[in-house]
Amino acid sequence: MIQNSRTPGTIVHGNPDGNSSLTIGRTTGGIELSRPIRPKWSGTAGLIFQRAGVSDNNGVLIIRDRYNSPLTARLYSNGNTHDDTLLAKIETVYTGSGEHGSSMFVLNVEQGLPLLLDWLSFTRVNARARKGVQIGPTR
């Protein structure tokens, strides 16, 4: 998988000079392997590299917000305008029968691998579950 995405920087508080047109740019590349584990269960494992940074509407990279706080973690260590992350990802999915009222459960764990000192390191765990219910004619 290779992806280059741009999203509005609405999550950046205190845009410099009142600029409301900030963009968060991400370049991502990785590999994932998905396999059935047992009936109704599947699993995915992957390794993903991501580089992210913030720019204004003219494409000029922005490293600090209006309050002079850095927008990247790497700015603290070496003044770079972007953050690099290598993620190890494991996900397991349970899907019921697929009919109305069936269940679904997803557990996703991501670990940031700091191969270099200034790469991001974190653990993210996300779980979600769904169960369909019928109440009268409504599901």
pLDDT of 77 higher than 60: no
- CA nearest neighbour of 50 among 25, 77, 29: 29
**What are the structural domain ranges in the chain?**
2-133
Which sign, positive or negative, has the C-alpha torsion 27, 125, 37, 86? positive
- Where do we find the tokens 């047992």? 38
Average pLDDT for 83-88: 91
Q: How far apart (Å, rounded) are the C-alpha atoms in residues 83 and 45?
A: 23
Q: Is the pTM above the cut of 0.95?
A: no
The answer to which of 26-30, 55-59, 111-115 has the lowest mean pLDDT is: 55-59
Please report the pLDDT score of residue 78 as a whole number.
Answer: 59
